[in-house]
Amino acid sequence: MAAVLVILLVLVAALAGGAVWAENHARERISAAVQDGMSGLSQDARVTTEGIILPQLASGSLRRVDVEASRLSLGPVLGILSGEPSLGPEAELAFDDFDASMTQVGTSSPHRARTITMSGTLDWETASVLLRASSQGLEGATASAGAVGTSAQEPGTVSIATSRYGVNASVEAAPSVTPEGNLLLTVESASVGSQASADVPAEWLRYVGLDSTETEVPMTLLPKGLKLSGAVVTPEGLRLTFEGRDVNLSGL
């Protein structure tokens, strides 16, 4: 009897060990699949899942997948959009300090996520390129942190600076999101040379290169189903948040 119990315990241990190996192997395969599907992720990406994976794989859908990475590149597109050949084909739309949470992620192509929330920081150099691409009048303008924000309700301000005829000019603009999911910059104050004003004269706007106090930056490069939902100014760049439903992850 004792011998039978020993054999049974050995079998149970072996089966348990096999199940653990299979579960760990499945997680490794999922991490590799996410890296392949979201080809713009940096190599240091960390992928985590929720619950026991094997039954979810059998059902064809993962309950939840979280991703953290130092960078996500959406591709070399800005040189074409901005009309600035000096940027070259290597110019990228990329987000630093990237994170994403996805639910009901399909395990087979096209790897759709029922819901996704993701955020990343657009550095100021790239933000400047997007800004110049959105308006011909802003040629040569640069963006940087004005007032640092704390939330979507207190987003801070973007400082847009330029120089014309040897005179420096700048505006402070608060970022927000349009109903269509585009980035909107609303001018709150301006300065030309040594003069500053919160009640911005139209000629000051024109001096900077703006037609009005509102400048819309299209987010047309995003995969279908994904929309901008928040923007906050940080010292490193614009921290953007996106949300979406039924998103094809291979578009990231």
For residue 207, give the nearest of 151, 137, 124, 105 by alpha carbon.
137
Task: Please answer whether residues 27 and 65 qualify as being in contact, where contact means their C-beta atoms are separated by less than 8 angstroms.
Answer: no
Largest interatomic CA distance in the chain: 98
Return phi, psi of residue 102, to 5°: -130, 145
The per-residue pLDDT for range 70-79, each reduced to its tens digit, is: 998 876 544 4
CA dist 159 and 59 (Å) reads: 50
Task: Please answer whether residues 232 and 149 qualify as being in contact, where contact means their C-beta atoms are separated by less than 8 angstroms.
Answer: yes
Task: Give the pLDDT of the chain (252 residues) as one tens digit per residue.
Answer: 434 333 333 333 333 345 566 666 666 677 666 766 677 888 888 888 887 777 777 777 788 889 999 998 876 544 444 444 444 444 567 899 999 998 988 877 777 889 999 999 999 988 888 888 777 778 888 999 999 999 988 999 999 998 877 788 888 999 999 998 999 999 998 888 777 766 777 777 887 888 888 988 887 767 778 899 999 999 999 999 999 998 887 666
CA dist 161 and 131 (Å) reads: 11
> What is the pTM (predicted TM-score) of this model?
0.80
Task: Please answer whether residues 209 and 190 qualify as being in contact, where contact means their C-beta atoms are separated by less than 8 angstroms.
Answer: no
Task: Please answer whether residues 161 and 246 qualify as being in contact, where contact means their C-beta atoms are separated by less than 8 angstroms.
Answer: no
CA dist 131 and 127 (Å) reads: 6
Task: Please answer whether residues 250 and 225 qualify as being in contact, where contact means their C-beta atoms are separated by less than 8 angstroms.
Answer: no
The per-residue pLDDT for range 22-39, each reduced to its tens digit, is: 666 666 677 666 766 677
